[in-house]
Every structure is written in structure tokens, then in C-alpha cells.
Structure 1
């Protein structure tokens, strides 16, 4: 069995960065350096006082250290990693673009008074789980060692468990809605029409390639970088994007 350090180093870059920032955010709040109020999504303070960080920070708060926090972090480590290493393999820019689109969509929905949520980390995890359940619909999920089911139904079971345990339904529901919208417009719609309205922009592709080049040079590796980008002609299938120097 690999050590925790080896497991951490083996994680794909976007999932590793997101999970790490989520952990550090909770640690900072737990130590009392900041309070949840300082990072909550409060549109009046964003508009009046230009507290722009409130548009970003809420996505990295999964709650205080608790069993629920641990479960959400494990979901990132399992389902986010399986997405990034599976359908998004060698498509780092596409995976990052998916996260960005999800964040923007959640911010838009939260601007509606009845759909407002101060923290969107749980919603982002729910979105990842929903997309995973659509990409691996026949995978088997075990719920508390009691019930086995197909992954396709897992997001709805999470919603039902929230209801049973008295947790807020809105965060997971928002994640499911945004995940379904992304899946429809990036997979189902392109399969039918051959057009992908959510295609990753070229500037982000270039940014990711340059970042990977820099990381390889720092590590002493060669300068060849290969990354795939979506063409919108299939379910998370892409073409090669290559930069050789």
C-alpha cells in the first residue's frame, strides 16, 4: 500500500489543488484566523464594498472539521479523481473549464433570492458526483454497508439522506442542477447536433499547456506537453492538443 504522501502526489492536478485548498480553508477557519462570515457569498458586500474574494472563497468551504467534512473531502478524492483520470484524462484544460463553468452557474443561481446559499463547496462536490454518476452509471455504490445500488442513482440518494438527517437540501440540489446542465450541453447536445457550446476556450488551453511546461521544466523533465481538448463530437471525447518545443 502506498504511503499518504505517495497517494497525494499521485492525484491529478485540478482535483488535488481543489481538495487541498478546501482542507486549508477549513483549517484556517477552525484556528479562528478567519470566520465563515469573512468568506460567505454576500452579494451586497460584493457590490458595495467590492469584496471580490467572496465570489471565489465560498467554493472552498465544506464545513468545519466533522464527519460530513471528511465525507465530502473523500468524495473529491474519489469521484473527482476518477473523472479527471478517466473521461478527462489528458484533458486538464477541459476539466478546469468544467469547474469554472460550474462555479459561474452556481453563482448565477445563488443570485436568485430563494436559491441563495452562503457557501458553495458542497454544491461543487455534488456537481462532481452527479457528473461521475453519469459517466460511470453502472458502477456499484455501497451505502453505509447496507444497500448496494448503481452509481446512476447516487446523487438522488445523497439528496434523500440529507432529508432524513435534516441537512439542508439546497446545496446538493444546486449541484445536481448545474451538473445536469453541464452534462446536457457538453455531452448530450453535441451527440445530437455535433456542436459543443461549452467548448474549452483556446486561451485556457494555452494557459494550461504553459503551466504544464513550467512544471516539467521545474521538475527537470522534457518540454513535450500533450493535452486533449474537447471537440464536442462525443461524450467527453477530445482531440489531441500538442505543443512540442
Structure 2
């Protein structure tokens, strides 16, 4: 059995980063470092007082420590990791783009006053559930050990349980809409003969490459070779040579016609015979 540290290191990067960010946000709330009023989505404060951070921070607060909070972290750990290791294996940038597209879709829907939610992290989590259900429609799952069903029906079963528990359904429904929109544009529409219209942008590839985590098949940019290195610099030889190349050796030339090039020599010049010739 692996230790918690080994288990943490084994998680794929995107799901791990998002889950840890949500956990740290709730921890900061309990420590009194932040308040929900300072990070929730409010377009009036965004546009009038330039509190742009609210557009991003509202996706990282899943509520206080509670059973629903633990279940949403469990969903990220189980279904998000399953997506990242399955359909999105070696497609880190594509998975990041799926989450970004879902967040942008939710922001667009929130311009409708009735659809506005102060915190939309739960909607992103439910979007993960919906996309997983479409990618693994025949997988057998068990909900709380009470009901066994196919993966395709998981979002609808979770909606029914939330209804019985008295939890609000609007965040879940918005997450389903965002997830279906992504799945339609990337899978259903191309399979029906339509054009693939949701290609991962180049700037997302560049962010993932600079991040240096995960892999992307046929990435248009190279990953950052220095990601995670605390100090970067160029080595120098003590004899004054500032750059060392690995070019193949050149054939020897006539030293009588070409002066010898040396590094670290205090004086370099042309020799003369003492008899003046």
C-alpha cells in the first residue's frame, strides 16, 4: 500500500492542481485569510471596481468543509483523474482547455441574471462528471453503495440524490450544459461529419509547455526544459571560453599558413626571425 505522499505524486498534474487549489482556498477561508465576499463572482465589482480576480477565484471555492465538499473533491480525484489517465492520456493541454472552455461557458451563461451563481466551482466539477459519463457510458458504478448503474446515467442519478438531499440543482444543471456543449463540439459534431471547431489554442499549449507538467502528443511548442529548476544559468570555462559547442572535429590544417587559435593565452601575435628575413 502506497503512502499518502506517494499517492499524491502519482496523481496526474491537472486534477491534482485543481483539487489542491480548491482545498487550499477552503483552508484559507477557515484560517480567516480570505472571506467568501472577497472572491465570489460579482460583475458589478468586476467592471466598476476592476476586481478582475473574481472571474477566476470563484471557481476554486467549493464551500466550507462538509460532506458535499468532500464529495466534490472525491469526484475530482476519481472521475477527473480517470479522464486525465484515459481519454486525455498524453493530452494535458487538451484537458486544460476542456476546463478553461467549461469555465468560459459558465461565465457566458452567468450574464443571464437567473443563471448567475456566486461560486461556479461545483458546476466545473459536475461538468467533469458529465464528460466522464459520455466517455465511459458502459462502466458499472455504484452510488453510495445503494444503486448500481451504467456510467451514462451517473449525472442524472446525482441530480436525483441532490434533489432528495435538498441541495440546489442549478449549479449541477449548468455544469451539464457546459459539459454537453464541449462534448458536442469535440466528439458528436465531428462524428456526424461536421468540422472540428474546438481545437486547443496555441496559448494553452504554451502555458502547459512552460508549466512543464504532463505531456501532449504532437504539441506545437516544446516543453520548458528548465521547469522546476530553482536556478538557471550558463556555465563558463575557467580559461575564458564562454560557449562550448559539440560540433564535429575539423580536419587539421597547415599550421604554417594559419595561426594557431588558443584560448587563455596572455599574448598572441606573429613571430619574426631575429635575422630580419
SS across alignment from 1:50: coil
* CA distance, structure 2, for counterparts of residue 38 and residue 207 of structure 1: 27
Q: Does 1:31 pair with 2:31?
A: yes
- Structure of larger gyration radius: 2
Match of 1:227 among 205, 212, 216: 216
1:169 CA drift (Å): 0.6
1:184 maps onto 2:184 in alignment: yes
Q: Which residue of 2 aligns with 1:241?
A: 219
Q: Does residue 155 in structure 1 map to residue 155 in structure 2?
A: yes
* More displaced stretch, 200-209 vs 113-122: 200-209
Q: How many residues in Structure 1 have an aligned counterpart in Structure 2?
A: 223
Whole-angstrom CA distance in 2 between matches of 1:202 and 1:44: 31
Correspondences of 1:128-167 after superposition (within 5 Å): 128-167=128-167
Report the counterpart of residue 220 of structure 1 in structure 2: none
Structure 2 counterpart of 1:10:
10
Per the alignment, do residues 32 and 198 of structure 1 end up closer, same or farther by CA in structure 2, a change over 3 Å counting? same
- Secondary structure of 2:148's counterpart equals strand
Aligned mates of 1:226, 1:71 — CA distance in 2: 28
Distance 2:84 2:21 in 1: 17
Shift of 1:202: 2.1
1:98-137 pair list within 5 angstroms: 98-137=98-137
* Residue 30 of structure 1: how far off its partner (Å): 1.3
TM-score by length of 1: 0.87
What is the root-mean-square deviation of aligned Cα atoms in Å? 1.6
> Partner of 1:69 in structure 2?
69
Instruction: Tell me the alpha carbon deviations over residues 64-121 of structure 1, each in whole angstroms, 9 at most, x when there is no partner.
Output: 0011111100100010001011100111110011111000000111111011110011
Which secondary structure state, in structure 2, belongs to the residue aligned with residue 193 of structure 1? coil
Structure 1: gaps (5+ residues) = 216-224, 229-239
- Structure 1 residues 163 and 50, CA, compared in 2 at 3 Å: closer, same or farther? same
CA distance in 2, matches of 1:111, 1:194: 29
More helix by share: 1
Q: 1:160-204: CA deviations, max 9, x gaps? A: 111111111100010001000000001111122252111001232
Q: Which residue of 2 aligns with 1:78?
A: 78
Give 1:231's aligned residue: none
Q: Which residue of 2 aligns with 1:88?
A: 88
CA displacement at 1:49 relative to structure 2:
0.3
Alpha-carbon distance in structure 1 between the residues aligned to 2:134 and 2:38: 35
Pairwise CA distance, 1:51: 0.4
CA distance in 2, matches of 1:226, 1:67: 34
Residue 241 (structure 1) shift: 3.1
* Separation in 2, partners of 1:115, 1:194: 30
Q: Which has the higher strand share?
A: 1
Query: Distance between the aligned counterparts of 1:42 and 1:203, measured in 2?
Result: 27
Once the 2 structures are TM-superposed, how far is the Cα of residue 137 of structure 1 from its aligned partner? 0.8
Comparing 119-128 with 31-40, greater Cα deviation is found at: 31-40
Structure 2 residues not aligned, in runs of 5+: 226-277
Partner of residue 195, structure 1: 195
